[in-house]
Amino acid sequence: MSQLLRTYGKLLTSVFLAAVLFWALMLILLPQATILERALIAPKRTLDSSAAQTLSRDAATCMAVLKTHEKDDTKTAVDNGGLAIPSMNPGGASGGSAASNGGLAVPSMGGMAVPSMGGMAVPSMGGSAGAVRPYILQCDRANTHKQLSRRSGEPAFLDTAYGLAAMKVDDKAPIAEQMRQAETIRDAAQKLADKLRIDEASQSRFSTDNFRTMIAATKIPLSESAKAAEANTIENKLYGLMGLRFEKDGDVYERLGLTNLTRTLFFAILVTALALVICYPIAFKAALATSERQQIWLMLGLIIPYAIVELMRIYAWTTIIDNHGLINSALMWLGITDSPIAFNRSPGTVFVVIAYTYVLFMVFPMLNVMSTLDRNQIEAARDLGASTPRLHWRVIIPHAKPGIAVGCISTFMLAAGAFSVPRIISRGLQAEWFAQTIYNKFFESQASNVGAAYSLTYTLVCFVLVALFMWAMRTRLKDFARAQ
Amino acid sequence: MHGKDIRLEAVGITYPNGFRAVEPTDLEIRAGEFFSILGPSGCGKTTILRTISGFVNPSEGRVLIGGEDMAGRNPDQRPTALIFQNLALFPLMSVRDNVAFGLEARGVSRRERHARAEELLDLVALGDQAAKKPTELSGGQRQRVAIARALAVEPSVLLLDEPLSALDLKLRQHMRAELRAIQEKTGVTFLYITHDQSEALAMSDRIAVMNKGRIEQVGPCDEVYSDPRTAFAASFVGEVNMFPGTIKSVIPDMALVETALGTFTARNPRGLKVGDATYLFVRPETMRPAPQPGDNIVPVRFERRDLEGAFVTLHMRAENGMELAAQLSNDGGALNPAAITQLGFTPEAAIALPEGQLARTGREEMAAQ
Amino acid sequence: MKSDRILSIYTLAFLAFMFAPLLLMIVASFNNISPPSVTEWHGFTTKWYRFFWMPDSQLAADPVLRTLDRGRFIGCFGNSMFVAGIVVPLSLLLGLAGAIMLTRWSSKANGLLWWVLLSPILAPGVVLGLSALVFWARLGVGAGLYTIIMAQVTFIAGYPMLVLMARLQRQPIELEEAARDLGASPLRSFLRITLPFLAPALFSSAVVAFLASMENYNTTMFAKGGSCTFATEIGAMARNPNGHPPVINAVGTAIIVITVAAALAHALMKRREEKAK
C-alpha cells in the first residue's frame, strides 16, 4: 500500500481504492450474499403464521360477501357486484370441492398451502344441496381445521397444533349465524397469526427448504407403455445410474432440478470439447502457419463474426432451421421428407447454434498465446527431425496451454450459461436449459426464493468445475490477462 | 550548478519481506566528486541509490544531502536526479519534451523550458534531434538524452544506475569519457553504480566496493586496486591469482606465508599475526616468466596462451593442479610459452589479507545462472 | 506440403461455416416475405430497412410492419445508448482501478482480489443479472435501467481491466519513477505519463465495453424489470409465434456492414502503423 501511495499519491490511490471496493462489494460480493440470503429464506406462505393469516383473511372475506348476500337475500342473487357468483348448476353432482372447479381454484402444489385467491370469491360449478348461502370459497375455507405446510409430509392442522377450537362456517345455519361464526374465526385466527409471527421472528428465519425443493424428486405421470419406452433411452438410464431417476411403488420419479442441471453441464462440456477440436487447427493456422499478408485477412475473417452482436448470430440460424428454412426445403426437394422437420424443437439444434455462437471464444485465447511462440522454435524442432504430431505435442501445445485453458473456460461458461440461444431458437418449445429454469422460477412461477437457490447452486457448481479444471491444467488466473 | 555532498549515517535497509538489503552503513561522498559504488548484482548498491533519491525509505539511520536531512522528502522534493538503468525515457514525448519535462513539472513556461532544453541538448551534442521520438535515436544518443533530461532540473547530485550496461564496448568507452567531461563541466556530484570494475576505475575519483549489503572498502581508484583491504575487494576489482595459506612469521610490514606451493614473502598491510589463516593475492600482470633474484617462485607447466591484443595471458598449472595466470605485453610471439617452467613475483607485488569471501569467478557465475 | 493444403482447406471451410448464416441473413433481409426466408423468393424489397423511417401512412398499409411498435423499438434503442453511455466510462474507471491494484499493489490479499474481480467474467451472465436485481431490490431500488447498468458494469469492467493490465505490465515502472524523480507530483505523473501510455488500450477497451453493453442479453433480461434495451427487444421478437419479422434481418445486416467496415478500417490502420515503423 505504501508503494501505491508513493507512486500515485493520496488522491489517486483513494480514488482507485474506492472504485475497487465499490466493484468488489457493491457489484460482486454483496449481491451474491443477498442471493444466498434469499435462497435460505423459506417462501413466506409456507409459514404457520401465514396459514393463520390466510384463515383470518378468508373469514373476513366470507363475512363481507355474506353481508352483501344478506342485502340481496330476496333476489336470486344474480349479481353480487362481481364478488360472489351463484352456482350455475344447483343440485349438480359435484360436492363443491375446490378440486373439481375446473382449474379455477389452484390446487395445492408440492405440499404447499392452498394459496389465497386474494380475497376474490370464486364461484362453484355446483352448489351443495340444502345450503342457505350460495357457494363461497372463502366461507368453505374459513375452517380452523386447516392443513399446515410440513416438509415431512405428515399432516398437521392449525386447530390441533395450536389448541384452537374446531370451528367452521356452517352453510346450513342462518346467514346472521354464519356471519357471527366467521367473525369468531377471523378474530381467533388473527390473534394466533400475530402470536405466531412474533414467535417466528425470534426463531432463525433460515432454512434449507429451497435447496431441498431443488433436489426433490417429482412424480412423472406416465402410462405403462410410455414408461417402458422412456426407461430405455440412454439419457434416462444414465440419470438412473446417478440416482436422479428411480421407480418407487410402480411410479417413476425424477429429480427434475438436478437432471436439468446435469444435462446443461453435460452439453456445455460437449460444446467445449467440440470447440477445442474445431478451433485448434484454426488457431494454429492463424498464429503460426500463414504468411503475414494472409494473416491480416484471416484475422479479419475471424474477428468479423466474433464482433457481430450475439443475438444476430443466433437469428442468422433461423433462416436455416425454420420449418420453411434452408434445410427443410432441401430435404423436401430431395424427397427425403414430406413434411418439415421441427428442428427448432430438437435439443441438437440448440447444441449446434450454441457451438456456432461461442466457438470463436475458443479461437482467440489460443491464437493470442500461440502467436507469442517464436517461429524459430518450430523450425528448430523440425530441423531436429520432429514429426508434425510430435511438434504439436512437445512444442506448440505446451506453449499454448494457458490459451487452451482460458479458451476452454470461457467457452464452457458461456455454453453453460446459455440463455439467449435456447430462448430464441426454440421459442420455448423444448427441454429447458438451466438458465431458462432459473428465469422461469424467478419471473414466471413466482418461486423467487427457489430460483435464488438454483442460481447459487449453479454458480457454485460452475466455479468448482472451473477451479478443478484450472488445477488440472496448472493454469493460474493470471493467464487470463495473457490470453486476452 | 554546484554539487552537494551526500552523507549516509548508519543507514540500514530491510525490505518488507524481511530481506536485509543494506547493513548499517556510513558513507561520505564529497561535493562535486565522481564517486562510484562497485559491487556484484544483489549487493545492495541499487538500494542505496534508490534510498538517496527517495524511492526507498531507510529502515534506520539518515541520509543528508548538502547537510540537510532528507527524511520525509519524496523523490520530487530532493535535489537529486536519477538516470535509470533502462533510461526510462518517455516513449510518447519528443526528445525536447523529455528534456523539458522536469521544468514543465516546476511550472516553467513553454518557451523558457524549450529554450533551456535545447541548450542542454546542445551540451550533449543532440541539438538537431530535438523533435524526434526517443525510439528513433541510437543507444548512445538515448543515453545522452537521459543525461540532458536529468541535468535540466539543475540537480546538485546526479545518480546513475548502470546506464551504460546496454551499450556495446566501443560506445561504452566513448560514453565514459563523455560522462567524465560533463561532470567536470557542470561540477555536479556524480554517484555512479556499476558492477563493471573497469568502468568504475576509468571514471571515478573515488570508489566504494560493496558486497552483501556492506561496504568493504572506500578510497581512490589506485588505492583500491593496488592496496585492497579485504579478500573480496582484491578478487572483485581486477584479476588475481590467489594462494590460501597461513602466516609463518612476521617482519615489519611484511610476512612469510606458507602455502601448498611453497613459502612466499608478501606485504602484510592488515597486520596479520603468526598462525593466522590468510589469502595471498598476486595480480597476473606482476607475474613474470623469468624470475629475478629475491622473487617468490612457483614451478608451473604451460597450459594455454590467449592473445588479447596489447597483451597476452598465459594460463599455467602448478604442481598441485592450481591454475595461475600471467599477463605479459604482446611481444609478437618471440617468447615460447611451452618452455616456461616457473613464474616469479616480487614480495611487493604479493599481498596477504585475512581469509574471507571471494568474488565469484566466471565459472561460478555461469553455474549460478 | 500436403498437410499445409489440408489445413488451408479446413480453414476455408471453417470460415464458410462462420459466414454462411450471416450471408443468408443478409439475403433474407431483401426478400419480400415474413418470416424471413431464403428458399422462396417473393421479390426484392428494401421495406424492412425503410421501416425505420417510412411515413406512418405507408407503415399502416403494410400487413406485417403495422403490427410492429416502431416507437417502442426506437425507445429501447435509446435506452441501450443511455445504458452504454454510463456503462462504458464506469467500466473504464473500475477496470483501470482494478488493473492498477492488481499490478501495482503487492500484498498477500492480491491473489484473493484476482479471484473476486475476475469472477464476474467467469460467472454465467444470468446469475449476475439476477443478483443485481435482488441486491438492489433489497436496498429499495426497483428493477430498471439502473439495475441493468449495475449488472452490466459488474462483468464488463473486467474486459478493460484485462486489457489495461496487459498494457501496464509492459510499462516499465521506471517511467513513473522517472517522472516523480524529475519533480512531477503523483497526479501529474499519472496524467502525463501513465494515462497517455494507456490511451490506446483505453480506447480499444472502450469499444469492447460498448459492444458488450449493446449486445448483452442474458444479464439484461434478468435485471431489466419493466424496461427494455435494444437486445431484449430484438430477443422478444423471436417469441412471435409466426416467426420474427425480417426487420431483424435488416438490423442484423446493418450491424454486419458496420462491423465489417470497422474491422477493415482497424486492419488498414494497423497496417499503416506497421509500415510507418
Residues B63-73 pLDDT 10s: 999 999 998 88
Strands B60-65 and B6-14: antiparallel
Tell me the three state secondary structure of residue C120.
Answer: helix
Give the residue from B196, B226, B256 where a domain finishes. B226
What are φ and ψ of residue B143, in 5° steps? -55, -45
Q: ipTM score here?
A: 0.90
User: Is pLDDT above 90 for A283?
Assistant: yes
Tell me whether C110 touches chain B (CB under 8 Å). Answer: no
CA distance A86 to B141: 102
Q: Does B203 map to a domain? A: yes
**Rg, chain A, Cα only:** 32
Q: Which of A180, A147, A145 is nearest to A163 (CA)?
A: A145
Contact B237, B204 (CB under 8 A): no
Same-domain check for residues A279 and A303: yes
Chain B CA closest to residue C197: B92
Q: Which domain holds residue B171?
A: 6-226
Contacts with A28 from chain C: Cβ below 8 Å:
116-117, 119-120, 154
Lowest mean pLDDT among A33-37, A179-183, C148-152: A179-183
Measured CA to CA, the distance from residue C113 to residue B48 in angstroms comes to 33
Domain count, chain B: 2
Q: Which residues of C71-107 are buried (b: 16+ CB within 10 A; e: fewer)?
A: eebeebbebbeebbebbbebbbbbbbbbbbbbbbbee
Residues from chain C contacting residue B84 (CB–CB below 8 Å): 174, 177-178
In terms of Cα–Cα distance, which of B63, B59, B60, B2 is closest to B27?
B63
Instruction: Using alpha carbons, select from A373, A356, A360 the residue that is nearest to residue A304.
Output: A360
- Of the three residues B226, B260, B282, the one that is the final residue of a domain is B226
CA distance C184 to chain B (A): 5
Q: How confident is the model at residue B300 (pLDDT cuts 50, 70, 90)?
A: very high
- Residue B331: pLDDT band by 50, 70, 90 thresholds? confident
Q: Do A232 and A348 belong together in one domain?
A: no
Name beta bridge partners: B302.
B316
Instruction: Determine the average pLDDT of the residues in A114-137.
Output: 51
- The packing angle between helices A310-321 and A347-358, to 10°, is 140
A92 within some domain:
no
Residue entry with cell 452504454: C84
Name subunits touching A (3+ CB pairs < 8 A). Answer: C
Whole-number pLDDT of residue B241: 92
Residue B149 in grid coordinates: 533530461
Closest listed residue to residue A316, CA positions, set C18, C76, C125: C18
**Is residue A207 one of the residues assigned to a domain?**
no
* B222 lies in the same domain as B255: no
Strands (E), A122-250: 218-220, 245-248
**Partners of residue C208 in chain A, C-beta under 8 Å:** none
CA–CA gap between residue A126 and residue A129 (Å, rounded): 9
| Cis-peptide, bond into residue C35, ω within 30° of zero | yes
Q: Which residue of B has its CA nearest to C174?
A: B88
**Could you give the CA distance from residue C265 to residue C277 in angstroms, rounded to a whole number?**
19
- Report if residue A83 sits inside a domain: no
Q: Has residue B269 been placed in a domain?
A: yes
Q: What is the pLDDT of residue A96?
A: 36
CA A71 from centre of chain: 49
Pair B284, B325: CB distance under 8 Å: yes
Q: How confident is the model at residue A378 (pLDDT cuts 50, 70, 90)?
A: confident
- pLDDT confidence of residue C1: 57
Name residues whose C-beta falls within 8 Å of residue B260's C-beta, 6 or more positions apart in sequence: B243, B244, B245, B320, B322
C157 neighbourhood in chain A, CB within 8 Å: 23, 27
pLDDT, position A105 = 34
B53 contacts on C by Cβ (under 8 Å): 181
Is B77 in the same domain as B214?
yes
- Cell 432440478 locates to A257
As a dihedral over the C-alpha atoms of residue C247, residue C251, residue C257, residue C260, rounded to 10 degrees, the angle is -130
Amino acid (1-letter code) at residue C144: G
Give one word for A446, left, alpha or beta, with left for phi > 0 and alpha for psi -120 to 50.
left
CA angle A385, A390, A394 (to 5 degrees): 110
Query: In chain B, which residues have their Cβ closer than 8 Å to the Cβ of C185?
Result: 76, 105
The domain in which residue A473 lies consists of: 259-483
Count of C-beta atoms within a 10 Å radius of residue A427: 17
Cell representation of residue A217: 424428486
Distance to chain C for B155, nearest Cα, Å: 9
In chain C, what is the greatest distance between 2 CA atoms, to the nearest angstrom?
73
| Neighbour-count burial of A475, counting CB atoms closer than 10 A to its CB (0-12 exposed, 13-18 middle, 19+ buried) | buried
End-to-end CA distance of chain B: 43
Assigned domain for A169 exists:
yes
φ, ψ for residue B11 (rounded to 5)?
-80, 120
Whether pLDDT at B343 is above 50: yes
pLDDT digits 0-9 by tens, A393-452? 988 999 999 999 999 999 999 999 888 888 888 766 655 788 888 888 888 776 778 888
Cα separation values, A363 from A148, A176, A373, A451, C190, Å: 56, 79, 16, 34, 35
Interval B47-95: pLDDT, tens: 999 999 988 889 999 999 999 999 888 888 899 999 998 899 999 899 9
Looking at the structure, do residues B53 and B194 belong to the same domain, yes or no? yes
CB atoms within 10 A of CB C70: 16
Which residues, given as ranges, of chain C have pLDDT below 70?
1, 241, 276-277
The reply to whether A122 touches chain C by the CB within 8 Å rule is: no
Instruction: Look up residue A213 and give its three cell numbers.
Output: 425443493
Of B252 and B287, the structure prediction assigns the larger pLDDT to B287
Strands B296-307 and B342-345: antiparallel
What is the domain-level CATH number for residue B113?
3.40.50.300
Q: How do residues B29-42 score in pLDDT, each as one tens digit?
A: 999 999 999 999 88
Residue B176 lies in a domain: yes
Residue A453 lies in a domain: yes
Distances in whole angstroms, Cα of residue B235 to Cα of each of A89, B215, B359, B361, B362: 116, 15, 6, 9, 12
Instruction: Identify the pLDDT of residue C152.
Output: 96
Q: Which residues contact B180 (CB under 8 A, 6 or more apart)?
A: B34, B203
| B196 plus B83 within the same structural domain | yes
- Count other Cβ atoms within 10 Å, centred on residue A465: 17
List all residues of chain A from 35 to 94 with a beta carbon under 8 Å from chain C.
Answer: 35, 38
Chain C nearest CA to A7, separation (Å): 6
Query: What span, in angstroms and rounded, lies between the C-alpha atoms of A196 and A55?
Result: 13
Does one domain contain both B55 and B164? yes
Set of cell numbers at residue A121? 370469491
| φ and ψ of B20, to 5 deg | -90, 100
Q: Is the domain of A60 the same as that of A163?
A: yes
Subunits close to B (at least 3 CB pairs below 8 A): C
In the stretch 10-49 of chain C, residues with CB closer than 8 A to chain A read 10-11, 14-15, 17-19, 21-22, 24-25, 28, 35-40
Query: Would the pLDDT of A118 be above 70?
Result: no
Query: In a mutagenesis test of the A interface, which of C1, C8, C91, C100 is the best target, namely the one with the most A β-carbons within 10 Å?
Result: C100
Per the model's pLDDT, the better-predicted residue between B187 and A7 turns out to be B187
Grouping H, G, I as helix, E, B as strand and the rest as coil, residue A244 is coil
pLDDT tens-digit profile of A302-327?
A: 988 988 888 888 888 888 887 777 88
Q: What is the rounded distance in angstroms from the CA atom of residue A114 to the CA atom of residue A373?
A: 66
Instruction: Give the integer Cα–Cα distance in Å for B338 and B324.
Output: 15
Q: What is the DSSP letter of A290?
A: S
Measured between its terminal Cα atoms, the distance across chain C in Å is 33
What is the pLDDT, as a whole number, of residue A427? 67
Tell me, yes or no, whether A396 and A269 share the same domain.
yes
> Looking at the domain that runs over C72-244, which CATH code has it been given?
1.10.3720.10
Final residue of a domain: which of B182, B202, B226?
B226
pLDDT band (50, 70, 90) for residue B308: confident
Reading phi first (left if > 0) and then psi (alpha if -120 to 50, else beta), residue A260 is in: alpha
Would the pLDDT of A101 be above 70?
no
DSSP characters over C219-245? HHHHH-TT---HHHHHHHHTT-TT---
B233 occurs within a structural domain: no
One domain, residues A53 and A177 = yes
Mapped onto helix, strand or coil, the DSSP state of residue B63 is strand
Quick one: B258 and B206 in the same domain? no
CA C128, CA C120: separation in Å to the nearest integer? 7
Helix or strand run (H / E) with residue A239: helix A234-241
pLDDT value of residue C79:
95
- The least confident of A199-208, A264-273, B292-301 is A199-208
Q: Is A12 exposed, middle or buried (0-12, 13-18, 19+ CB in 10 A)?
A: buried
In a domain, A232, yes or no: yes
Inter-chain touch C127–A459, beta carbons under 8 Å? yes
Which residue type sits at B106?
A: R
79-138 in chain B: CB under 8 A from chain C: 80-82, 84-86, 88, 90-92, 101-102, 104-106
Tell whether A31 and A126 lie within a shared domain: no
Can you give the pLDDT at residue A17? 94
The Cα of A435 is separated from the nearest Cα of chain C by a number of Å equal to 7
Q: For residues A346 and A323, what is the distance between their CA atoms, to the nearest angstrom?
A: 12
**Per-residue confidence (pLDDT) for residue A88, from 0 to 100:** 40
Same domain, A305 and A327: yes
| CA diameter of chain A | 108
Q: What angle do CA C96, C154, A452 make, to 5 degrees?
A: 160
Distance, in Å, from the CA atom of A460 to the CA atom of A454, rounded to the nearest integer, reads 10
At A241, which amino acid appears? L
Classify residue B246: in a domain, yes or no.
yes
The span from the CA of B101 to the CA of A302, in Å, is 43
Is any Cβ of chain C less than 8 angstroms from the Cβ of A405? no
Residues of chain A above pLDDT 90, percent: 20
> 0.95 cut: is pTM over it?
no
Q: Confidence band (pLDDT; 50, 70, 90) for A153?
A: low
pLDDT tens by residue, A335-375: 777 777 777 677 788 889 999 999 999 999 999 999 889 88
Same domain, A185 and A243: no
Residue with cell 432454512: A207
Q: Do C15 and A301 touch (CB under 8 A)?
A: yes
Give the pLDDT band (50/70/90) at residue A164: confident
B142 and B276 both lie in a single domain = no
Q: Which of C172, C179, C188 sits opposite B86 (nearest CB)?
A: C172
pLDDT of residue A111: 34
Chain C residues lying within 8 Å of B166, measured CB to CB:
none
In a domain, B16, yes or no: yes
Q: Pairing relation of β-strands B157-161 and B80-83? A: parallel
> A436 and A299 share a domain?
yes
The percentage of residues in chain A with a pLDDT greater than 70, rounded to a whole number, is 83
Shared domain for A52 and A35, answered yes or no, is no
Residue B197 burial (10 A CB sphere; 0-12, 13-18, 19+): buried
- How do B189-194 and B157-161 pair as beta strands? parallel
Neighbours of A55 (CB within 10 A): 28
What pLDDT sits at residue B366?
67
> Do B22 and B132 lie in a common domain?
yes
Q: Same structural domain for residues B323 and B352?
A: yes
Non-local (6+) Cβ contacts of B190 within 8 A are: B33, B34, B35, B157, B158, B160, B179, B183
B175 plus B250 within the same structural domain: no
**Residue B232 maps to a domain:** no
H or E element that contains B150: helix B139-152
Question: A433 and A287 in one domain?
Answer: yes
- Residues B19, B213 contacting (CB under 8 angstroms): no
* Nearest Cα residue to C139 out of A160, A206, A26: A26
Residue whose C-alpha cell is 337475500? A73
Cβ(B309)–Cβ(B299) under 8 Å? no
Do B127 and B255 have their domain in common?
A: no
Would you call C18 and A301 a contact, using CB atoms and an 8 Å cutoff? yes
Beta carbons of A411 and A466 less than 8 angstroms apart: no
Asked if the Cβ–Cβ distance from A27 to C177 is below 8 Å, we say no
List the grid coordinates of C154: 459488474
Same domain, B148 and B245: no
